[in-house]
Structure 1
């Protein structure tokens, strides 16, 4: 039976050298990850609009909360812009993943939505064209999204959703609900997808509120519980300032136990 040769003793110098190498590698990885996080945060900060458009009878406000764990950088966004025909366009969405790639893809989706919104007055077609463009670019991420057009001439909203959380609405006279009608697949899943459009007449005074899933869903909350919480807040704040309502709604994210980032977009009318 062959005898194993004894392992030669490791000198203290070799141990220190190995420890130094492992420490340097760990620091390099940590610095690399820190740089990626900082880049993703900068992308998010620079891509979110500083000001949202307004129109007679409509004011908008939004809030964004970063992920509650420092390394989980997401791709949630909101946007608002004036279209050439005088209509206001709004979007809110959530990109799959938590990294620089998610933040960069978020910027691509927002730009694509803006571009498509200038050539089509139909929110469903805007989402469909954006979806096909993203797939043609060979993207490997998915995004849920809600796109709206507000027409000041008719005081109405036209809404299309791509796998996104439904909006919540309430009026000053006590009516409220969850806008669950019509939804297509998330962007980036399959080409040629159709996105149904739902129209809402904005009579009287009220609020139409959109959120990302980081606000309403997590380990401590089902999405139904989260939407119920939002509905209660929107009922109470339907006649108030949109910024105050947005600030109240974003706080629900703290109750979900979710580590994701979160966004809220409030349209206050009347």
Structure 2
């Protein structure tokens, strides 16, 4: 006679049921997180410009990449547009947070900067007005940003920073340096903040490289080391007469060595040497 197998205890059945429920919940959570990541990435890419303004003597290029692990998406942006006076405005920035809310807020900041730039051309004033606008909205998020104005008549660049990481400037004679001009607090933190403006005449050919901290910072790479690496990359690329697109790609490749857990953006302006005042560009359409 075959011995009967002992009946499974009620506690064992309960345990299996609980494990099944937890597994199903975990799968739902993973699917929900994946959906949020996909939505954030879609929002991010839809909100970034398809093209950047350029003109004879000025090349522009940009790169964006999501975080290496695909979870931290939604905060970084770049932008470029023709301002009301015919100059070119460029912005790059990073919103606090890495989710759908950050992606949506990024869109608000980017469009807010464009709207403010319709009435103001001074980069410091653009950032100050955008800051007050964001403070008035009452969101808990904030954004770091660099706003740069390219003057095609004076052949000069004016820039202001709101808590953002410094950029890099290279010239044709081999000089390369961090652009660590004084700045103000991130946008959306305190009303009435002032943002100093730095102005540079472009008497030599060269490039400005603006970036977000995802390019230079990683789990084991401090910002200082990442910045030093980017300076070396920019110096080498400039010496090889790289185009703006090539330079943006080289800098973004440097981000891969950080194993970045944040998304990353790079914006490059490569210019010829100035030769006195130039004719103004046609008005924006």
Instruction: Give the TM-score normalised by structure 2.
Output: 0.88
Q: Which residue of 1 aligns with 2:245?
A: 243
Aligned 1:1-270 pairs, distance under 5 A: 9-10=9-10, 13-238=13-238, 239-270=241-272
Structure 2: tracts of 5 or more residues without a match:
1-8, 273-285
Structure 1: tracts of 5 or more residues without a match:
1-8
1:77 is paired with a residue whose SS is strand
Deviation at 1:12, TM superposition (A): 5.4
Q: Which residue of 2 aligns with 1:4?
A: none
Deviation at 1:17, TM superposition (A): 3.2
2:228 is paired with a residue whose SS is helix
Instruction: Give the TM-score normalised by structure 1.
Output: 0.93
Deviations 1:106-159 (A, max 9, x none): 101000000011110110111111111111111111111000110100111110
CA distance in structure 1 between the partners assigned to 2:220 and 2:15 by the alignment: 46
CA distance in structure 1 between the partners assigned to 2:127 and 2:204 by the alignment: 29
CA distance in structure 1 between the partners assigned to 2:60 and 2:138 by the alignment: 34
Deviation at 1:16, TM superposition (A): 4.0
1:256 is paired with a residue whose SS is coil
In the comparison of the two structures, how many residue pairs are matched? 263
CA distance in structure 1 between the partners assigned to 2:84 and 2:98 by the alignment: 34
2:37 is paired with a residue whose SS is helix
Moved over 3 A (4+): 11-17
CA distance in structure 2 between the partners assigned to 1:18 and 1:229 by the alignment: 51
CA distance in structure 2 between the partners assigned to 1:72 and 1:223 by the alignment: 18
| Counterpart contact for 2:95–2:102, Cα < 8 Å | yes
CA distance in structure 2 between the partners assigned to 1:163 and 1:129 by the alignment: 15
